[in-house]
Chain A
Amino acid sequence: MSIAATFGKAKAEGRSVLVGCMPAGFPTVDDSITSMVAMAEAGCDVIEVELPYSDPVMDGPVIQKASDIALAAGVRTRDTLKIIEAVSATGATVVLMTYWNPIEKYGVDAFARDLASAGATGMITPDLIPDEAGEWIAAADRYAIDKTFLVSPSSTDERLAMTVANCRGFVYATALMGVTGARTSVSSQAPELVARIRAAAPDLPVGVGLGVGTGAQAAEVAAFADGVIVGSALIRCVLEAPDLATGHQRLRALSAELAEGVRAGQPA
């Protein structure tokens, strides 16, 4: 399903979209596919596949650890594309989150082509701002891939308007000034940021990420955002489990809890 259709469907159901993130190849290629399919089955509407990168400056310790494990096991960019293909084939909506250098190294046009043919619908670029994204925007448009850039509480109105104008699919609102990782409370900056985005782009769905890890927090964010993005808390289910079977059980349980959360919120 396209990003637009996924958000449209959730809206029709009076709820928010749940986006769940998992690094490709963590802890192995096959296990990451199992994790992602489990997440989708348990209620994640969108699977955000993160391409493991050696220097993930926007990510906290959990995602970095998982990425390091995947890289140490030898995961390649082409494996990430295979994983996307396998997960998309189950009917899940898949987007890719990736730092920029691996894409530039692969070849921007070739990557957009291969990403589209693997079945991904969009790509999130945490360290690529629209100012530097000319080549990516052209390639994404050529292959009809949705472009998700990030906005932050520190973004000026001018930058926020410029950024959302360059997004297609949804925009990623970073709920607080910081890196990825679950936190004990939801940022108080997030509702204001979402309101500013809506004022600039009333029709663009807004996903809120950074710091959400429980069903209650998901409900809190779902009350004002179109999408709730969860990464570290889900990854920790696998990272901290004594074995993979337990990890996948926990992953399903948390996905289900979060899915309930996005249905308990009161969409704006």
Chain B
Amino acid sequence: MSAPVLPDLSGHFGQFGGRFVPEALVGALDELEAAYRSAKNDPVFQERFTGLLRDYAGTPSLLYRAERLSEAIGAEVFLKREDLNHTGAHKVRNVLGQALLAKRMGKPRVIAETGAGQHGVASATAAALLDLECVVYMGEMDTERQALNVARMRMLGATVVPVTNGSRTLKDALNEALRDWVSSVDTTHYLLGTAAGPHPFPEIVRDFVGGIGIEARGQILDRIGKLPDAVVACVGGGSNAIGIFHAFVPDEGVRLYGFEAGGDGIETGRHAASITGGSVGVLHGNRTYLLQDEDGQTKESHSISAGLDYPGVGPEHAWLHDTGRASYEPVTDAEAMSAFQLLCRTEGIIPAIESAHALAGAAKIAPRLAAELGRPATMIINLSGRGDKDVHTAGAYFGILDENEVIVPGEVT
């Protein structure tokens, strides 16, 4: 029996996903879906996309066998080096795909939301490359602590709009981008940054970042002649995770692990673990797991990693969780930072703090898997981003900055 093709025609992954949006956006979502379907089958579009990924973004990204890390955690570890992509993370795949779609739809303007700036910088990059006007919405709290990323986006020609509503963070930036889009759909494409939001965004983003898993699957087969025991990724909104998981979903022997931001610990309530510490509801256009109070009001998330600091998660992850195909667990700030340091010291690679959650999770499951398999497990960890942006956060965390140095909290993917 073959697995169902998801999302279904109405944009659902089981009970998750769908379109919980103002009617004013339905036309734009339909237009986007139609443009995507035709682009998907258009060899010219696909060649342009893969050409940019290859020549501009630097993919396929390397699959690196991390020997010293393997030894340290007791597993055979391969790192999918998305950190080496242009702009420093997997995000470039999605923004190039969507910016090309915007061009295809004849929309001269793109808007984006960003937490601490990573998706905003990637969007500004693609907009500069493809000559699109770009407006990035960013919570005022984040513009204040991410002045460098604001400058980066402006250097690339984007307009950065600080959002002063609500909690003045990522979720409010997303609200503001949706409000802009309701008012500007004729000329504007909303370049959504993760595999969430209303249909067809979860599907489109998944497909644009899906090259991660397709490449990794081919690379591991070439390297060791078999599939890995496990594929591991961090999960905020979930784009890097769905990007590496998707190609492995039909491979039943491959375990899929997503690690959410556990912040100070699930039990403290200060975390960003929507699946392991949240409940089913509707937020930002889709039904999924989210952090909410008894009345369905969105709760603020907390994580040392701004890129995972979001109170929802993509609907396909909610589905993979409910069906048991993938396992989701929380990783605390402290565990992530310990793994961050481990990778620095064993491999000479400074990871994004987001990706450090995946590394920490891998270290947690390695003994379990080894016990189950009777040998060290082979695993691919998605190293979704590099840590240059996090040097200040990590430096402050580890207390290795000079005392009189001005500390700017870290950026976000």
Q: Are B23 and A177 in contact (CB under 8 A)?
A: no
Q: Are A154 and B282 in contact (CB under 8 A)?
A: no
Q: Are B166 and A106 in contact (CB under 8 A)?
A: no
Q: Are B166 and A132 in contact (CB under 8 A)?
A: no
The docked-state distance in angstroms from the alpha carbon of A156 to that of B28 is: 11
B272 to chain A, nearest CB (A): 16
Q: Are B24 and A57 in contact (CB under 8 A)?
A: no
By a CB distance below 8 angstroms, the chain B residues around A58 are 22, 182
In the complex, chain A residues 49-77 whose Cβ is within 8 Å of any chain B Cβ: 53-58, 60-61, 64-65, 68, 71, 76-77
B79 to chain A, nearest CB (A): 36
Could you mark each residue 158-170 of chain B with 1 if its beta carbon is under 8 Å from any beta carbon of chain A, else 0? 0000000110000
Q: Are B23 and A100 in contact (CB under 8 A)?
A: no
Q: Are A105 and B295 in contact (CB under 8 A)?
A: yes
Given A101-B281, A154-B27, A178-B183, A127 and B297 contact (CB-CB distance below 8 Å): no
A50 to chain B, nearest CB (A): 14
Q: Are B166 and A64 in contact (CB under 8 A)?
A: yes
Shortest Cβ distance from A57 into B: residue: B178
Q: A203 in the interface, Cβ–Cβ < 8 Å?
A: no
User: Which of B13-21, B258-266, B314-322, B339-347 is the interface stretch?
Assistant: B13-21
B249 to chain A, nearest CB (A): 26
Q: Are B283 and A101 in contact (CB under 8 A)?
A: yes
Q: How many of B's residues come within 8 Å of A, CB to CB?
A: 34
Looking at the complex, which one of A61, A154, A155 makes contact with B165 (CB distance below 8 Å)?
A: A61
User: Which of A112-120, A145-153, A239-247, A254-262 is the interface stretch?
Assistant: A145-153
Looking at the complex, which one of A64, A102, A151, A177 makes contact with B296 (CB distance below 8 Å)?
A: A102
Q: How many of A's residues come within 8 Å of B, CB to CB?
A: 41
Given A64-B165, A68-B166, A57 and B22 contact (CB-CB distance below 8 Å): yes
B314 to chain A, nearest CB (A): 17
Q: Are B165 and A131 in contact (CB under 8 A)?
A: no
Q: Are B22 and A101 in contact (CB under 8 A)?
A: no
The docked-state distance in angstroms from the alpha carbon of A93 to that of B22 is: 25
Q: Are A129 and B19 in contact (CB under 8 A)?
A: yes
Q: Are A101 and B182 in contact (CB under 8 A)?
A: no
B22 to chain A, nearest CB (A): 5
By a CB distance below 8 angstroms, the chain A residues around B185 are 154, 177
Q: B10 in the interface, Cβ–Cβ < 8 Å?
A: yes
Could you mark each residue 308-349 of chain B with 1 if its beta carbon is under 8 Å from any beta carbon of chain A, else 0? 000000000000000000000000000000000000000000
Could you mark each residue 275-298 of chain B with 1 if its beta carbon is under 8 Å from any beta carbon of chain A, else 0? 000000111110000001011111
Q: B109 in the interface, Cβ–Cβ < 8 Å?
A: no
The docked-state distance in angstroms from the alpha carbon of A75 to that of B71 is: 54
Offer 28 A-B interface pairs, CB within 8 angstroms, sorted by A.
A54-B166, A55-B166, A56-B175, A57-B175, A57-B179, A57-B182, A64-B166, A65-B165, A68-B165, A68-B166, A101-B282, A101-B283, A102-B295, A105-B281, A105-B296, A106-B296, A126-B22, A128-B20, A149-B23, A152-B23, A153-B24, A154-B24, A154-B27, A155-B23, A155-B26, A159-B23, A177-B183, A179-B179
